[in-house]
Structure 1
Amino acid sequence: MGGYLAKPKSGSGPGVLVIQEIFGVNKVMRDICDSWAAQGYVALSPDIFWRQEEGVDITDQSQDEWNQAFALYKGFDQAKGIDDLKVSLAFLRATAGCTGKVGVTGYCLGGFLTYMMMCHSDAEAGAAYYGVGIDGKLDDAKGLQNPTILHIAEKDGFVPPDTQKKIRDGLKDNPHVTVHGYANDDHAFCRVGGQHYNEASCKLANGRTLDLFKKALA
């Protein structure tokens, strides 16, 4: 399994596992890793589609790419993917320069997998962006023991209002989970260059994630 690794200029810092969208470890994911590295973190985005096709690197700019992305999404083995992410988490902890503490963040499919990693791994903190499918795995939250943020786009076409309510209601009694809603935003409001990108909302969400990781990974 490959991936993209970015390190801070200092050479050391806490780790951030960046889980891809359905477009592979593309420029958006690499730029996110570079941004974390610029803020003092060792960032790794693993190639979770490697079991189907290695090195997927596509965009959201054409219908053909969307078709390819959805085909990969449908063919993704969730259980094996989570196993791969646990291996990636261990690899990042052991990477030269990583302090050993690691936060997990991800987008869309990666947002869902971030939630699942917080339920089924020992990652110190998590921040999931517009995860799709969390409503079907609310029982897994019994294993969620470390601080986790869910960034929910309230106009998300893939996560309608009733689903959002189910997520909020299902997690409201878990003291480790904080849900932030973004009232005017659609899915992928943090995908730079995407149709629904909102710079202000993304900056707000990223600031909340950074604040969490500063505290949890110190």
Structure 2
Amino acid sequence: MMASKTPHQNVTFDLPTKDAGQDGDRTGHGYLALPPSGKGPGVIVIQEWWGLVDHIRDVCDRLADLGFVALAPDLYGGWIAHDGDEALEMMQNLPAEEGARQLAGAVDWLLARDEVTSQTVGAIGFCMGGGFVLALAAQQGDRVSAAVPFYGVGQGVPGDFSGVTAAVQGHYAEQDDSFPVEDARRQEQQIREESGADVEYFYYDAPHAFHNDENPQGNYRPEAAALAWDRAVSFLKEKVR
């Protein structure tokens, strides 16, 4: 699943200030991949609970190879989990509002870049990042035109989807103990009812994290991953303008 080589760099960006009296970093960090042309529509790529690992960088590179300007914010500030217990602890220690603040800064920064040709951004995320994709769409309104959660879980999943104006294409696993398919179907209907957005979820005969070819639990399923990826890329190309 390796993409051809694209220009990439580690970047920093300003973060929105917290409420008065609250401390917090003012600078976000991330991985940016540019297309061969140097310009293209913008996409935010949101990490799994492992951190900003090679798999997420590879997703950015693959999107860049297809013409997108792809930015993956580092929500853990450089920390990487080495096993599921660490990953769970790190995910739970990331407040939903802090993740949302970092992602808002990433959207601001990306839309201000000369390399970005779109007036909106798309967002694609996996596991914890899939939950934050939905939160970002609810928070940013019409600044996000396409939201693509892959088996989204975690504290980032919003309780209210009324702010979502983006088209939503979800990719969920039928063998997922982290987020059972019945819950995914209820979520699909909830987003549709609360937001009125264009919503379509796809369900795969696969386990959680089926798209991650580096998943340490061996959950990668190449056929499901390829089908979901093709659908997601076509969707982003259509919606992000």
TM over 0.5: yes
What amino acid maps onto 1:118 in structure 2?
A
Matches of 1:153 and 1:38, distance apart in 2: 27
C-alpha separation in 1, matches of 2:31 and 2:162? 31
2:167 counterpart of 1:147: yes
Which residue pairs with 1:36 in the alignment?
A: 63
Q: Which residue of 2 aligns with 1:129?
A: 150
**What is aligned with 2:32?**
5
TM score, norm. by length of structure 2: 0.80
- 1:57 equivalent in structure 2: 80
Aligned to 2:203: 181
Give deviations 1:90-115, integer Å, cap 9, x for gaps. 11111231114311000000000001
- 2:213 aligned with 1:192, yes or no? yes
Stretch moving more, 148-157 or 163-172: 163-172
- Distance in 2, matches of 1:214 and 1:118, equals 17
Name the structure where helix makes up a greater proportion of residues: 1
Instruction: Kindly tell me the number of residue pairs found equivalent between the two proteins.
Output: 207
Unaligned residue ranges in structure 1 (runs of 5+): 59-63
Structure 2 SS opposite 1:2: strand
Cα separation, 1, equivalents of 2:188 and 2:61: 32
Cα displacement (A) at 1:208: 1.1
- 2:231 counterpart residue number: 208
The 2-side partners of 1:127 and 1:168 are apart by: 12
2:44 aligned partner, one-letter code: L
Gaps of 5+ in 2: 1-27
Task: Return closer, same or farther for 1:30/1:135 CA change in 2, 3 Å cut-off.
Answer: closer
Please report how far the alpha carbon of residue 135 of structure 1 lies from its aligned counterpart in structure 2 after TM superposition.
11
* Structure 1 Cα separation of the partners of residues 201 and 163 of structure 2: 17
1:179 CA displacement: 1.0
- Give the counterpart letter for 1:176 in structure 2: D
Higher percent of residues as strand? 2
1:172 positional shift: 4.3
Change (3 A) 1:165 1:209: closer
Out of 125-134 and 69-78, give the one that drifted further: 125-134
TM-score by length of 1: 0.88
* Identity, % of aligned positions: 30
RMSD over aligned CA atoms reads: 1.8
> Which residue is equivalent to 2:131?
112
Give the distance between the partners of 1:74 and 1:23, measured in 2 at CA: 12
